[in-house]
Amino acid sequence: IKKIAVLTSGGDAPGMNAAIRAVVRACTYYRIECVGVYRGYQGLIEGDFKTLSARHVSNIINKGGTILKSARSQEFKTTEGRAKAFQNLKEAGIGAIVLIGGDGTFTGGLKFIEEYNFPVVGIPGTIDNDIYGTDNTIGYDTALNTVVEVIDKIRDTASSHNRLFFIEVMGRDAGFIALNSGIGAGAEEILIPEKNLGLERLVDSLKKSKDKGKTSSIVVVSEGDKIGKNVFELADYINDNFPHYDIRVSVLGHMQRGGSPSCFDRVLASRLGVAAVEALLDRSTGVMVGITNNEVSTVGLNKAIKMNHDINEELLKVAEITSV
């Protein structure tokens, strides 16, 4: 392999720039040309490429977002789109791609390998942490810290006004952000998609805490929660069934995806960027590099997106015990 392309796709995540930097610099170190692809798969289809030298990635390790931009390309989901992408890669003399993204990104990569047998290695970059085969995805730690900082602020005003707050956090189908930020910020209840605790239990829990003398409360709700109500409907339901609190709703939204990456995410991204290039040099393909028990690990892309990323039952218990 003489030329490797790198792209970021799907929802951006803090630390993606640190990963791009590590990929570019690992290529420089191993004397391979590195080509940046702009706007994810869409840029692959449109041939939006630029050769990146080690100096092109100076001063980005601390930056949120992605200098390569990101997109959720619909065209890459079509056979014609992927054919154009393959043609562009061939014309540019690119021999492999490093994909930085989450499950949508890896699904696209798998399809591409299946059709063109093109060497691909993935790096997990998503705030959701919903990827199997790595303890953490790039961006998750930063997002958690952002969420905890905001909930701390909401706690101040919740407690001054004796209010109950419902706070919706991201995590399309996964409760990692909700559960961990909820424990870290001392939430009363945490609602996650992996476990439907039911509305009765929520009412009951709020009643009990009121009886125990709590004057304000915070409920963290994952956006993917399967209770069958969105956060506003949930607040209305509680207002109707337990009208003892002045209730407010706060949807944190895309602020969770921004900001300077934590040191943890920068180190993770740097390790995975180097590991991805080394994996390609070792002729690996169709795999994702991750960190498991503090060691670099690899897992098939198909497993990374399909295997269950179970929520830790111990964490659920800790959340329950610490909110008595």
Contact between 101 and 130 (Cβ < 8 Å): no
Q: Which is nearer to ligand F6P, 146 or 209 (CB)?
A: 146
Characterize the bridge pairing of strands 120-124 and 287-292.
parallel
**Residue 171 binds ligand F6P, judged by CB under 6 A:** yes
Residue 184's CB is within 10 A of a number of other CB atoms, namely: 16
Minimum Å gap between C-beta 55 and ligand F6P is 31
233 labeled part of a ligand binding site = no
In the complex with ligand F6P, the residue whose CB is nearer, 268 or 279, is 268
Residue 287 CB, shortest distance to ligand F6P, in Å, is 21
Among positions 126, 250, 270, 298, the unique one binding ligand F6P when judged by CB under 6 A: 126
Q: What mask, x for binding ligand F6P by CB under 6 A, covers residues 84 to 103? A: ------------------x-
Buried b (16+ CB within 10 A) or exposed e, 232-263: eebbeebeeebeebebebbebeeebbebebbe
Q: In whole angstroms, what is the distance from residue 60 CA to residue 66 CA?
A: 9
The CA R_g of the chain, rounded to the nearest whole Å, is 22
> Is 128 marked active-site?
yes
Q: Which of 150, 97, 103 is nearest to 126 (CA)?
A: 103
Closest approach of ligand F6P to the CB of residue 156, in Å: 26
170 binds ligand F6P (CB under 6 A): yes
CB of 72 to ligand F6P, least distance (A): 6
Q: Which stretch binds ligand F6P (CB under 6 A): 92-100, 120-128, 276-284, 307-315?
A: 120-128
According to CB under 6 A, which residues from 127 to 146 bind ligand F6P?
A: 127-128
DSSP 62-102: T--S-TT-----SGGGSHHHHHHHHHHHHHTT--EEEEEE-
- Can residue 11 be called a binding residue for ligand F6P (CB under 6 A)? yes
Size of the site for ligand F6P (CB under 6 A): 10
